[in-house]
Amino acid sequence: MKLMEDGTQFPDEQQYVIRNVKAIIQILTGLLNDNTMLNVSFNNANNVNDVCSTTVISLDEKNLSVHLDIGCDEAFNNRLIASQHVRFIKEDGIEIRWVSTKLSMTNLAGSNAIKIDLPKSMVRLQRREFYRIDTPIETPVLCHIPILDETNAEMSKILELPLVDISVGGVGMIAADPLDLAISIGTVFTGCKMDCPEIGMASLALQVQRIQPMPVKDGSTKYRIGFQYIAPSHGNERLIQLYTYQLERIAKVIK
């Protein structure tokens, strides 16, 4: 889904847009101090090769600029710098995002870094549907996603992906490499089944919102995929709410 120039996706998000320079600097300072991981995508994230992660490594308040960590892939860096529409998103907890239209390479303390202008605006979402809670790792919940082949029904299949987090607005899953070709930004899958332990089976339409490559220590790659629920029924919304409440109670007991 394409972000507007102020970082919003929907009209009702305008109330969450921040334009005050001091407030923006304060938010970026928090990202810097916490070494927060940011998801970066460009070219509307139509290609999983146009997605990466970075962190804020320096703020120049005098010149209103921000420095970000840079990857080691020179070809990727060149595509990123050349892009005119780059979005930065912090997903965990309170969601923060903005769009930058001008990136450059710079030298910072003897090392290369990405330089962007201080964002003129950014979105800071703290509505409940954007709070994600981790799902169990030892006994993962599986989502069954039908992959239909309209030209050859025998080639249709059901993809089983484990959940990593869930909210009342969407769900995150992990997929192994190679990523199924049917999974791409914007694709909608109907008839997806998600069995919420001790709660019930939810039947959902899911739309792919984000695809983030995640290098693994053994040299392989996994993909973290963010899905948004599309017009869930009241019954399915209730199931998801009950399951998130259950996970929250378990998390509080563990703490």
Domain 130-254, CATH: 2.40.10.220
Exposure string for 71-108, b = 16+ CB within 10 A, e = fewer: eeeeeebeebbebeebbbbbbeeebbbbbbeebeeeeb
pLDDT in tens, 55-113: 999 999 999 999 999 876 788 888 888 888 898 988 776 788 899 988 999 988 888 89
Q: Where in the chain is the domain with CATH 2.40.10.220?
A: 130-254
Mean pLDDT of 35-55: 76
pLDDT in tens, 99-149: 998 899 998 888 889 999 999 999 887 655 557 788 998 899 999 999 987
Helix or strand holding residue 13 (H, E): none
Q: What's this model's pTM, rounded to 2 decimal places?
A: 0.56
- The topology (CATH level 3) of 11-126 is Pnp Oxidase; Chain A (2.30.110)
Q: Where in the chain is the domain with CATH 2.30.110.10?
A: 11-126
